């Protein structure tokens, strides 16, 4: 089992996390840190073969592993990735490495537990992306909430209890219905929880499809999050420690969007088409309404959280742009690129805020001003990430939005026009924040005392900057991995199940 690359990417970080946990109290924190770093590096290294050895010319699942788990119920330990899920496993393993580095000396209490929580969460998230069995997916999907809940609840800010309850309540609500949907499909698919068997179902009446879609929708829309079930995210981000925000934005949100692609669209295509106008509408609300809300935020983390919701609007928009029963290849691939890119950019933005927070202990825009005077290197990096967040070409932030807008023009010009307002709003809220925080005269004595980035922070910023620029200049590297899987998905969804 441990020979399979997918099992490796799931269990390496979990085992490493347990080892870190075993180091015990804070007196042995240095050991815990180095052990956690080793685990994260190893976790990232074992995820790389998925990318490098991935066969671009093969559309189906790769690196498949299948063995019985609970035989009496037909539940299997069934793993496999296509060109879509593979990218997120690599992204997640990468983000975990960044997060371990980001928390290095910042987390002084319960260091081992903090590091362990992230490593274990990383394994669970990889599991959710790799699972081909619905129950296995469900276990990972729910399981990964536990470390996140703890990260917010233990290392979070003053209102962490409110935030974590809100977070949990929201997510629990949806996933229960998803489980019901799985059980229904289990019987339809001949007592199998195999996701591919769900997808292969030939006939599902429209009413049933719509009910199933609603179940999936409630579960995944909360995670994305889509308007109007998005209000947990700003609170969670504000209370979460920097690392928690990085993972939350970079990865956790992607699971929701991934759920739409893996479950809702292929299992209930007719309901997806039927309800796509609603999803498109909600996505556009996310782009425009949330974009405006982001503009007036006074808390940097809330601002970036709203910006995340707005950017994720492009993801759901891209997935549900249909011409007849045909998904739009531009828009779907754009949505996927946007997900990966947002993983890098949002992690970088939250990290930048964390760097400033560690020095001044405030997230309020008004408490800053003129940071560039004291931290010029940091200011240059944050400029790059701010531009990426504004969707500037040659950064990764442009590629996905560009592709979705191009796809949208082919489907409906007005939808495209509304989506394209992000060019203005995205730049407005990001650069206005940047102006107030980074530019200007030194705002107060806290800013006066700020020191520029240390070597560790510099390393993280460089790595993120290289990825953001690399993906903007050569997106082909990522996109060519997903072509066949997306084509298969489009062909599959085009076949009616009525």
Partner 1 sequence: MDMKSLYLLIALSPLVGSVIAGLFGWAIGRRAAHVVTILGVAVSAVLSIGVLKGFLDGSTQVFNAPVYTWLTVGGFEFSVGFLVDSLTAMMLVVVTSVSLMVHIYTIGYMHEDPGYQRFFSYISLFTFSMLMLVMSNNFIQLFFGWEAVGLVSYLLIGFWFKRPTAIFANLKAFLVNRVGDFGFLLGIGLVLAYFGGSLNYSDVFAAAPALASKTIQIIPGVEWSLLTVTCILLFIGAMGKSAQFPLHVWLPDSMEGPTPISALIHAATMVTAGIFMVSRMSPLFEMSDTALNVVMVAGSITALFMGFLGVVQNDIKRVVAYSTLSQLGYMTVALGASAYSVAMFHVMTHAFFKALLFLGAGSVIMGMHHDQDMRNMGGLRKYMPITWITSLLGSLALIGTPFFSGFYSKDSIILAVENSNLAASGFAYFAVIAGVFVTAFYSFRMYFLVFHGKERWMENHAHHEHHGDHDDEEPSDDHHHGLGPNDKPHESPWVVTLPLALLAIPSVLIGFFAIHPLVGGEFFKGVIYTNLEAHPGLEAAMHHAHDAMAMGLHAFVTLPFWLAAAGVALAWFFYMKAPHIPAAIKQKFSGVHTLLENKYYMDELYFAVFAKGSRALGTFFWKVGDMLLIDGLLVNGSARLVGSVSRAVRKLQTGFIYSYAAVMIIGVLVLMTYWFKPLILR
Using CB under 8 A as the binding rule, the residues of this chain from 239 to 298 that contact partner 1 are: 289-290, 292-297
Distance CA 256, CA 236 (A): 16
Q: Which window, 26-34, 90-98, 353-361, 419-427, contacts partner 1 (CB under 8 A)?
A: 419-427
List of residues 6+ apart from 481 with CB closer than 8 A: 51, 54, 56, 83, 86, 87
Distance CA 44, CA 12 (A): 10
Q: Is 109 in the site for partner 1 (CB under 8 A)?
A: no
Distance spanning both ends of the chain, measured CA to CA: 40
Q: Which window, 3-11, 52-60, 154-162, 445-453, contacts partner 1 (CB under 8 A)?
A: 154-162
Q: Is 113 in the site for partner 1 (CB under 8 A)?
A: yes
Report the residue from 44, 118, 137, 232 that binds partner 1 according to the rule CB under 8 A: 232
H or E stretch covering 64: strand 62-70
Report the residue from 142, 367, 452, 488 that binds partner 1 according to the rule CB under 8 A: 142
Q: Which of residues 64-83 bind partner 1 (CB under 8 A)?
A: 72-73
Distance CA 333, CA 155 (A): 36
Q: Is 420 in the site for partner 1 (CB under 8 A)?
A: yes
Q: Is 212 in the site for partner 1 (CB under 8 A)?
A: no
Smallest gap, in angstroms, from Cβ of residue 9 to partner 1? 22
Q: Is 462 in the site for partner 1 (CB under 8 A)?
A: no
| Contact status, residue 295 vs residue 288, Cβ threshold 8 Å | no
Q: Is 475 in the site for partner 1 (CB under 8 A)?
A: yes
Distance CA 159, CA 175 (A): 25
Q: Which window, 121-129, 213-221, 351-359, 424-432, contacts partner 1 (CB under 8 A)?
A: 424-432
Binding string, residues 301-340; x marks residues near partner 1 by CB under 8 A = ----------------------------xx--xx------
Query: Within 10 Å of residue 456's Cβ, how many Cβ atoms?
Result: 13
| Contact status, residue 51 vs residue 84, Cβ threshold 8 Å | no
Q: Is 437 in the site for partner 1 (CB under 8 A)?
A: no
Report the residue from 413, 466, 495, 498 that binds partner 1 according to the rule CB under 8 A: 413
List of residues 6+ apart from 435 with CB closer than 8 A: none
**156 three-class SS:** coil
Distance CA 99, CA 351 (A): 9
**In b/e form, how buried is each residue of 229-244, taking b as 16+ CB within 10 angstroms?**
bbebbbbbbbbbbbbb
Between 231 and 496, whose beta carbon lies closer to partner 1? 231
What distance separates the 2 farthest-apart alpha carbons in the chain?
69
Between 104 and 330, whose beta carbon lies closer to partner 1? 330
Smallest gap, in angstroms, from Cβ of residue 332 to partner 1? 9
Q: Is 394 in the site for partner 1 (CB under 8 A)?
A: yes
Smallest gap, in angstroms, from Cβ of residue 410 to partner 1? 4
The size of the interface with partner 1 (CB under 8 A), counted in residues, is 76
By C-alpha distance, which of 336, 484, 321, 464 is closest to 401? 336
DSSP-derived secondary structure for 408-431: HHHH-HHHHHHHHTHHHHHHHHHH
Smallest gap, in angstroms, from Cβ of residue 17 to partner 1? 11
- Environment class of 360 (CB within 10 Å of its CB; exposed 0-12, middle 13-18, buried 19+): middle
Smallest gap, in angstroms, from Cβ of residue 492 to partner 1? 17
Report the residue from 105, 459, 474, 491 that binds partner 1 according to the rule CB under 8 A: 474
Q: Is 108 in the site for partner 1 (CB under 8 A)?
A: no
Q: Is 179 in the site for partner 1 (CB under 8 A)?
A: yes
Q: Is 19 in the site for partner 1 (CB under 8 A)?
A: no
Between 360 and 427, whose beta carbon lies closer to partner 1? 427
Q: Is 439 in the site for partner 1 (CB under 8 A)?
A: yes
Q: Which window, 28-36, 87-95, 224-232, 338-346, contacts partner 1 (CB under 8 A)?
A: 224-232
């Amino acid at each position: 089992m441990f020979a399979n690359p997918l099992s490796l990417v799931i269990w390496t970080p979990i085992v490493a996390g347990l080892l870190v946990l075993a180091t015990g109290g804070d007196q042995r924190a240095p050991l815990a840190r180095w052990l956690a770093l080793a685990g994260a590096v190893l976790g990232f290294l074992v995820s790389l073969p998925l990318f490098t050895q991935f066969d671009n010319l093969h559309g189906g699942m790769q690196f498949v592993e299948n063995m019985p788990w609970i035989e009496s119920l037909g539940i299997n330990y069934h793993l496999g990735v296509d060109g879509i899920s593979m990218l997120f496993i690599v992204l997640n393993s990468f983000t975990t490495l960044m997060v371990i580095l980001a928390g290095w000396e910042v987390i002084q209490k319960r260091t081992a537990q903090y590091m362990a929580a992230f490593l274990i969460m990383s394994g669970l998230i990889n599991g959710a992306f790799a699972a081909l069995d619905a129950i296995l997916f469900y276990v990972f999907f729910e399981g990964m909430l536990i470390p996140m809940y703890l990260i917010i609840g233990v290392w979070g800010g003053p209102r962490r209890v409110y935030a974590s309850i809100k977070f949990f309540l929201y997510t629990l609500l949806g996933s229960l219905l998803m489980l019901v949907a799985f059980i229904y499909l289990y019987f339809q698919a001949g007592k199998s929880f195999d996701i591919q068997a769900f997808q292969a179902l030939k006939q599902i009446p429209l009413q049933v499809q719509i009910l199933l879609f609603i179940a999936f929708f409630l579960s995944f829309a909360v995670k994305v999050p889509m308007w109007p079930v998005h209000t947990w995210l700003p609170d969670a981000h504000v209370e979460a420690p920097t690392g928690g925000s990085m993972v939350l934005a970079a990865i956790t949100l992607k699971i929701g969007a991934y759920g739409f692609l893996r479950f809702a669209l292929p299992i209930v295509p007719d309901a997806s088409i039927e309800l796509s106008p609603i999803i498109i509408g909600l996505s556009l609300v996310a782009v425009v309404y949330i974009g405006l809300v982001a503009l007036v935020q006074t808390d940097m983390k809330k601002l970036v959280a709203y910006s995340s919701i707005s950017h994720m609007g492009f993801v759901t928009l891209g997935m549900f742009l249909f011409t007849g029963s045909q998904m739009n290849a531009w828009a779907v691939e754009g949505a996927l690129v946007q997900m990966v890119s947002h993983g890098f950019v949002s992690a970088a933005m939250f990290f930048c805020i964390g760097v400033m927070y560690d020095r001044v202990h405030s997230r309020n825009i008004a408490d800053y001003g003129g940071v560039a005077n004291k931290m010029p290197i940091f200011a240059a990096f944050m400029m790059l990430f701010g531009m990426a967040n504004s969707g500037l070409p040659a950064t990764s932030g442009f590629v996905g939005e560009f592709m979705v807008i191009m796809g949208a023009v082919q489907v409906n010009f007005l939808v495209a026009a509304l989506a394209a307002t992000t060019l203005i709003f995205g730049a407005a809220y990001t650069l206005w924040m940047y102006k107030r925080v980074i530019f200007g005269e030194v705002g107060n004595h806290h800013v006066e005392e700020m020191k520029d980035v240390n070597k560790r922070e510099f390393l993280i910023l460089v790595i993120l900057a290289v990825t953001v620029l690399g993906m903007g200049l050569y997106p082909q590297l990522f996109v060519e991995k997903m072509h066949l899987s997306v084509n298969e998905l489009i062909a599959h969804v085009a076949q009616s199940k009525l």
